[in-house]
């Protein structure tokens, strides 16, 4: 349990936040370059941003350890999810800026990568599978929502500025057409944030691997541009930006679940009272 935390909810909804962790093993820190020790490629504050999902009744799974230890959203064989594009891999050795993370000669060897898979990757994925099975057993179906965020401009990974909301359904394969249509409708109706479906980010390993629409598991990934809820330069939480975004996030999740937007309305009403 030192690898992740799992809060079990009552709805057919599992929120997975695989890049929320910030911890580094003490023995790893001296091997990293100084800039890497601050884990700049974290999906900053996503657990806080999705705090409303707890009140909604979601199960929430999040790691303790940084993606620099191991990327939980990559396959264990490190197969490229986006062939032909820049990628950081299962045990990253470069940052999102393309800069080396390790001091010369300190990169993990194949044996160390295998150890990290056993120590960090496997427990998270075992917990994810067991919670999906529990919720599907209770309800007959479950929505797996992959919550991510990234800096809005990263030339090494993509050109230009990223849209605010980047939805991924593996080109329509990871969820039913009805779920996809509902989240597209919610995006089109919100009118504040730019958005795209299956653009640069189509859904990583978790979305693609665990999705089984015919078997009752719909999976959706949302990659947020971090400027929508925080200051990207300092990585500081921005309460006003976050409060504006949270009703939209709630509306997307409730649409995916096929539920009336009750939580979205409550959050929007509270925002009006700030």
Domains of the chain: 4-272 (3.40.630.40)
Nearest to 43 by CA among 71, 16, 18: 18
Look up the pTM and report it. 0.96
Hunting for tokens 């809060």 — which residue is that? 7
Residues in the chain: 274
* pLDDT tens per residue across all 274 residues of the chain: 599 999 999 999 999 999 999 999 999 999 999 999 999 999 999 999 999 999 999 999 999 999 999 999 999 998 888 877 777 899 999 999 999 999 999 999 999 999 999 999 999 999 999 999 999 999 999 999 999 999 999 999 999 999 999 999 999 999 999 999 999 999 999 999 999 999 999 999 999 999 999 999 999 999 999 999 999 999 999 999 999 999 999 999 999 999 999 999 999 998 875 4
Of 200, 196, 207, the residue nearest 167 (C-alpha): 196
The pair phi, psi for residue 243, each rounded to 5°, is: -65, -30
For residue 125, how many C-alpha atoms fall within 13 Å in the half-sphere facing its CB?
18
Print the SS3 string covering 117-177.
Answer: HHHHHHHHHHHHHHHHHHHHHHHCCEEEEEEEEECCCCCCCCCCCCCCEEEECCCCCCCCH
Cα-to-chain-centroid distance, residue 195: 16
Give the residue among 193, 195, 200 at the shortest CA–CA distance from 84. Answer: 200
Q: How far apart are the first and last CA of the chain?
A: 38
180 burial type by CB count under 10 A (0-12 exposed, 13-18 middle, 19+ buried): buried
**Selection from 104, 46, 110, 96 nearest residue 68 by Cα:** 96
Tokens 């990583």 belong to which residue?
204
């Amino acid at each position: 349990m030192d690898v992740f935390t799992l809060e079990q909810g009552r709805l057919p909804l599992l929120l997975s936040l695989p890049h929320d962790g910030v911890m580094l093993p003490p023995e790893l820190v001296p091997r990293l370059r100084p800039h890497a020790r601050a884990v700049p490629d974290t999906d900053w504050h996503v657990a806080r941003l999705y705090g409303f999902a707890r009140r909604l009744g979601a199960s929430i799974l999040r790691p303790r350890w940084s993606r620099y230890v191991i990327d939980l959203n990559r396959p264990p064989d490190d197969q490229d999810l986006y062939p032909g594009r820049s990628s950081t891999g299962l045990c990253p050795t470069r940052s999102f800026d393309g800069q080396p993370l390790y001091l010369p000669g300190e990169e993990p060897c194949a044996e160390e990568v295998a150890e990290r898979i056993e120590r960090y990757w496997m427990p998270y994925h075992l917990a994810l599978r067991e919670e999906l099975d529990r919720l599907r057993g209770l309800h007959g179906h479950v929505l797996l929502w992959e919550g991510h965020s990234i800096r809005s401009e990263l030339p090494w990974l993509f050109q230009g500025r990223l849209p605010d909301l980047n939805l991924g359904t593996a080109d329509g394969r990871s969820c039913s057409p009805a779920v996809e249509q509902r989240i597209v409708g919610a995006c089109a109706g919100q009118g504040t944030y730019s958005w795209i479906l299956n653009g640069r980010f189509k859904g990583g390993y978790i979305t693609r691997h665990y999705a089984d629409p015919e078997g009752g598991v719909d999976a959706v990934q949302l990659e947020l541009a971090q400027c929508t809820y925080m200051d990207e330069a300092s990585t500081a939480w921005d309460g006003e930006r976050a409060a504006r975004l949270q009703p939209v996030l709630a509306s997307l999740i409730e649409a995916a679940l096929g539920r009336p937007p009750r939580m979205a309305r409550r959050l929007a009403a509270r925002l009006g009272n700030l």
